[in-house]
């Protein structure tokens, strides 16, 4: 799912192989690396939030 939202420009340091893998995966899916990163980050943060709710935090 791609969310159309205002994006905050930022810089991060990423392992070169991870970056290469992300670019390849994004190409396979027909999306940008930004979209892939946002999708992955949303999924991961959703998991953390659900775990916190289960633990009652």
pLDDT at position 48 is: 86
Residues 15-30: tens digit of each pLDDT:
999 999 999 999 999 9
Residue 46 lies in a domain: yes
pLDDT at position 50 is: 81
How many domains would you assign to the chain?
1
Residue 2 lies in a domain: no
Residue 36 lies in a domain: yes
Residue ranges making up the domain that contains 43: 16-55
Residue 1 lies in a domain: no
Residue with tokens 């991060």: 12
Number of C-beta neighbours around residue 22 at 10 A: 16
Residue 21 lies in a domain: yes
Residues 1-57: tens digit of each pLDDT:
555 678 889 999 999 999 999 999 999 999 999 999 999 999 999 988 887 877 775
Q: Is the CB of residue 23 less than 8 Å from the CB of residue 33?
A: yes
pLDDT at position 4 is: 67
- Taking the model in full, what pTM does it have? 0.74
């Amino acid at each position: 799912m791609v969310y159309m939202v205002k994006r905050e420009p930022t810089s991060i340091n990423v392992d070169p192989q991870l970056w290469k893998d992300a670019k390849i995966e994004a190409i396979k899916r027909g999306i940008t690396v930004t979209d892939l990163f946002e999708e992955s980050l949303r999924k991961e943060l959703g998991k953390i939030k659900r775990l916190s709710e289960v633990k009652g935090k």
